[in-house]
Amino acid sequence: MATCINNNYGVSETNPLIGEHPDWDEIVDLNDSRLRRITRLRLISDPGFPYWDVSYCYGELSDGTPVRVEIGGSQFRRGRGAPSLTSQLVALAKSQGVYAKGIGLIDPGVISTLV
């Protein structure tokens, strides 16, 4: 997992997005049967804030079309005493009838964080 520290702004970012991303013509739900995989889940937070906020989620349909994905949650707990992010994402996917690992939702290279 790549980490980028930007001292100009005092932020720490994992898995920064490199290059351009396509225009998103369609938004689908996490449980859309056409969704093949998640390609990026961007989470942001402030130092000391106990939650990750979902900034965006990108995916790819079975025909290769890139889409934005509405994952059905906007925040995840973080910090001491919080369940792991992986377990929270698995529970979210399971509640929607989706296998999180099967669509790449919990792959470390897919999740990008910014604090």
- What pTM was computed for the model? 0.81
Task: Label residue 27 by pLDDT band (50, 70, 90).
Answer: very high
Q: 56 near 40, Cβ under 8 Å?
A: yes
pLDDT tens per residue across span 41-64: 999 999 999 999 999 999 999 999
Residue 12 pairs in a beta bridge with 5
43 SS3 class: strand
**What percentage of the chain has pLDDT greater than the value 70?**
79
d(CA 50, CA 95) in angstroms, rounded, equals 23
Q: Where are the alpha helices (DSSP H) in 1-115?
A: 85-95
Q: 38 near 57, Cβ under 8 Å?
A: yes
